Amino acid sequence: MTAVDPRPAAAAVPVPINGSRGVAATVKAYVAITKPRIIELLLITTLPAMVLAERGLPPLGLTLATLGGGALAAGSAHVFNQVIERDIDAVMRRTSRRPLVNEAISVPAALVYGVVLLAVSVAVMLAWVNPLAAGLTVLANLFYVVVYTVLLKRRTPQNIVWGGIAGCMPTLIGWAAVTGALAWQPFVLFLIVFFWTPAHYWPLAVKFRDDYARAGVPMLPVVAADVAVGRQILGYTAATVATSLVLAPVADLGWVYLAVAVACGVWFLAEAVRLLAAARRVQPVRAMRLFHVSISYLTFVFVAVAVDVLLVG
């Protein structure tokens, strides 16, 4: 629940729903408010954790229930997030066309929608997965909504560091779904996502620094110079790559995973170094390049986990 789609939300104009055009616009708004592109990235970290726990392909029904329940819970958290942050979204250009801002969806309707999504998610998890996975799913939702959105985001530049824990939870949920317990391996996966989150999010905040400043959100690039931000990003990038290498012996992964982790790690680090170097030379910082690389990095590394298990064993 921490990865970010940098594109402005598509306009969702409130129109009467007595025709097909109105129904389509309403459906589009309700889909948009769940931030489906971010949910995709969360599922990319869930499925490899399941494959690793199973040491093969988990049962199809369990997989669909875990991914479906996780997607519903993440969508619910994003709905609650936008209800709480609609004042911020209204003054930021990047978010000013979100459905709650332009009143394509009312606040009461959004709240009901969020509650229903979460309730269905928990029901799915309890019925077809297990209580531990269900509990972790609720915890991730509450952490994102209460800890990140309410307590941290408007108060500290470290908001995304600790608030990002919610986005790490799918690794634990995926493992728990298969085993009904937790172990060291999913916690290493958890740490990969934990260290990755600031390195992923802060480049976006560099790009939209003025937006965050206008909204009064103290993202690190708002309150610190580019060089300081670049150093922090490089540090978290290095920690991400180092943790990804630790995963190989801890999870008994083979050469396929290790080759991808090393190659993608070098790529990720090189882009972080390039961003810091540009900041030191007081040159325009191409932050969005690192942002997009970070998404590719996480995708390739987690896919490599599953591929290594399935091909190497």
Segment 191-204, tens digit of pLDDT: 999 999 999 999 99
Determine whether 59 is exposed, middle or buried from the number of CB atoms within 10 Å of its CB (0-12, 13-18, 19+): exposed
Helix, strand, or coil (residue 137): helix
Mean pLDDT of 70-74: 95
Mean pLDDT computed over every residue of the chain: 92
Mean pLDDT of 151-180: 96
pLDDT at 8 over 50: no
Residue 138: predicted pLDDT: 97
Residue 42: predicted pLDDT: 85
Residues 6+ away with beta carbon under 8 Å from 182 = 132, 172, 175, 176
Say which range, 93-97, 209-213, 255-259, has the weakest mean pLDDT. 93-97
Alpha helices in 33-157 (DSSP H): 36-54, 60-84, 86-91, 107-128, 131-142
State how far Cα 256 lies from the chain centre. 25
pLDDT at 2 over 90: no
Residue 284: predicted pLDDT: 72
275 domain residue, yes or no: yes
Give how far Cα 224 sits from Cα of 36, 221, 229, 276, Å. 31, 5, 6, 13
Mean pLDDT of 244-262: 97
* Owning domain of residue 31: 20-311
Spatial distance between the Cα atoms of 213 and 89, rounded to a whole number of angstroms = 12
pLDDT at 215 over 50: yes
Terminal Cα-to-Cα distance of the chain (whole angstroms):
30
15 domain residue, yes or no: no
Q: Per mean pLDDT, which of 10-19, 186-195, 201-210 is the most reliable?
A: 186-195
Closest CA to 193 of 159, 236, 151: 236
24 domain residue, yes or no: yes
234 domain residue, yes or no: yes
Give how far Cα 83 sits from Cα of 5, 12, 90, 205, Å. 18, 16, 11, 21
Q: What angle do CA 55, 57, 60 make, to 5 degrees?
A: 145
Predicted TM-score (pTM) of this structure: 0.92
| Cβ atoms within 10 Å of 184's Cβ, excluding its own | 10
6 domain residue, yes or no: no
pLDDT at 18 over 50: no
Mean pLDDT of 46-66: 97
Mean pLDDT of 281-305: 91
Q: List pLDDT tens digits, range 119-140.
A: 999 999 999 999 999 999 999 9
| Residue 9's pLDDT band (cuts 50, 70, 90) | very low
**Sign of the four-CA dihedral 200, 297, 257, 58:** positive
DSSP state of 95: G
| Residue 273's pLDDT band (cuts 50, 70, 90) | very high
Residue 16: predicted pLDDT: 39
10 domain residue, yes or no: no
């708004």: which residue's tokens? 29
51 domain residue, yes or no: yes
7 domain residue, yes or no: no
pLDDT at 14 over 60: no
Task: Say if CB 195 and CB 240 are below 8 A apart.
Answer: yes
pLDDT at 286 over 90: no
What's the structural domain count of the chain? 1
**Sign of the four-CA dihedral 47, 191, 94, 272:** negative
Mean pLDDT of 220-232: 95
Spatial distance between the Cα atoms of 312 and 258, rounded to a whole number of angstroms = 12
pLDDT at 1 over 80: no
Spatial distance between the Cα atoms of 172 and 180, rounded to a whole number of angstroms = 10
Task: Say if CB 264 and CB 247 are below 8 A apart.
Answer: no
Spatial distance between the Cα atoms of 183 and 284, rounded to a whole number of angstroms = 44
Read off the CATH number of the domain in which 237 is found: 1.10.600
Mean pLDDT of 38-52: 92
| Residue 12's pLDDT band (cuts 50, 70, 90) | very low
